[in-house]
């Protein structure tokens, strides 16, 4: 099955939490005249748990996402949003991608993803749609839908990620309640799993209908590397670069962090180098050492 060129082109930002995906998603959408939907996989649970859209109202009250949800449920043959949320709570996980053979996507999840994408495309009407879900398992499912797909594998130094995840950070889609904090070893383990499984999905892109175009970008190399990545993806997927003059069309974001409320500039944040406790730094470095050199990070110094 080949990709359907009559559909919107989808761009998926893959990687780990606290790696700058919210900001990168917004930049991608603005530079390519597209729509940034944020973390699309979080739509259904966000609807039933009363989480907030980037436009400032509950997802259930947002005119865009409530319409997307109703249309997608009908197309997928689901009775209500709760059924869709149950499917996503039981979705494919990154750990499943560590099996000797990559698993087939779950039928109900794939059907829901296809219906959701179609609803977003019809109601938004953008030639490019950006999904910053990050999860390689979500990417693997999305890659089984035949339409143009680009992947930005976003990598950030795992010590910076661990430092960020250990700090209290307010969540804009949970009314300012703190995001989940994670101890360094758990954060490092998650980082490893995210990179390994993302690379595995990209490496086996010939096995899926979308056959995505993929580029890797390091957070520390932004914004220059992102501009080059946009150019590479735009060329491979035959997209026009048409930078938007304002934020119109980028406000209805799901999930993400406080950057979604107006951040535009990529700022290199390396506070971890001075403020991260020595034990946490050593533990994170030791666990992620096998991939540090691969991505150009120094183990010491």
Separation between Cα atoms, residue 218 and residue 226, nearest integer Å: 8
How far from the centroid of its chain's Cα atoms is residue 109's Cα? 17
The residue length of the chain stands at 301
Q: What is the pLDDT along the chain (301 residues), one digit of tens a residue?
A: 456 667 899 999 999 998 999 999 999 999 999 999 999 999 999 999 999 999 999 999 999 999 999 999 999 999 999 999 999 999 999 999 999 999 999 999 999 999 999 999 999 999 999 999 999 999 999 999 999 999 999 999 999 999 999 987 766 666 666 677 889 999 999 999 999 999 999 999 999 999 999 999 999 998 889 899 999 999 999 998 887 655 544 489 999 875 544 445 566 678 899 999 999 999 999 999 999 999 999 998 6
Q: For residue 225, which phi and psi values (nearest 5 degrees)?
A: -65, -35
The class level of CATH for 11-292 reads: alpha beta
- For residue 200, give Cα distances in angstroms to 1, 136, 205, 222: 21, 9, 9, 24
């Amino acid at each position: 099955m080949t990709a359907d060129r009559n559909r919107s082109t989808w761009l998926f930002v893959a990687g780990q939490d606290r790696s700058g995906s919210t900001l990168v998603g917004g930049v991608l959408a603005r530079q390519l005249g597209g729509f940034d939907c944020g973390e699309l996989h979080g739509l259904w649970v966000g609807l039933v748990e009363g989480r907030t859209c980037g436009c400032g109202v509950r997802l259930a009250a947002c005119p865009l996402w409530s319409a997307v949800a109703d249309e997608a449920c009908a197309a997928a043959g689901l009775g209500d949003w709760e059924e869709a949320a149950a499917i996503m709570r039981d979705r494919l996980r990154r750990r499943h991608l560590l099996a000797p053979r990559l698993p087939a996507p779950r039928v109900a999840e794939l059907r829901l993803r296809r219906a959701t994408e179609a609803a977003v495309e019809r109601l938004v009407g953008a030639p490019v749609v950006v999904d910053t879900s990050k999860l390689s398992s979500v990417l693997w499912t999305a890659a089984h839908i035949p339409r143009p797909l680009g992947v930005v594998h976003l990598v950030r130094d795992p010590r910076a990620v661990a430092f960020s995840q250990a700090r209290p950070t307010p969540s804009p889609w949970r009314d300012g309640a703190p995001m989940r904090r994670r101890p360094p070893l758990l954060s490092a383990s998650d980082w490893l799993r995210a990179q390994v499984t993302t690379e595995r999905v990209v490496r086996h892109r010939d096995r899926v209908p979308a056959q995505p175009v993929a580029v890797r970008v390091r957070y520390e190399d932004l914004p220059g590397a992102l501009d080059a990545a946009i150019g590479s993806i735009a060329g491979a997927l035959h997209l026009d670069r048409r930078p938007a003059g304002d934020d119109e069309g980028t406000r209805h974001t799901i999930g993400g962090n406080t950057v979604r409320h107006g951040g535009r500039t990529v700022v290199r944040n390396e506070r971890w180098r001075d403020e991260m406790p020595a034990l946490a730094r050593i533990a994170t470095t030791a666990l992620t050492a096998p991939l540090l050199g691969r991505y150009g990070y120094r183990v010491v110094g």
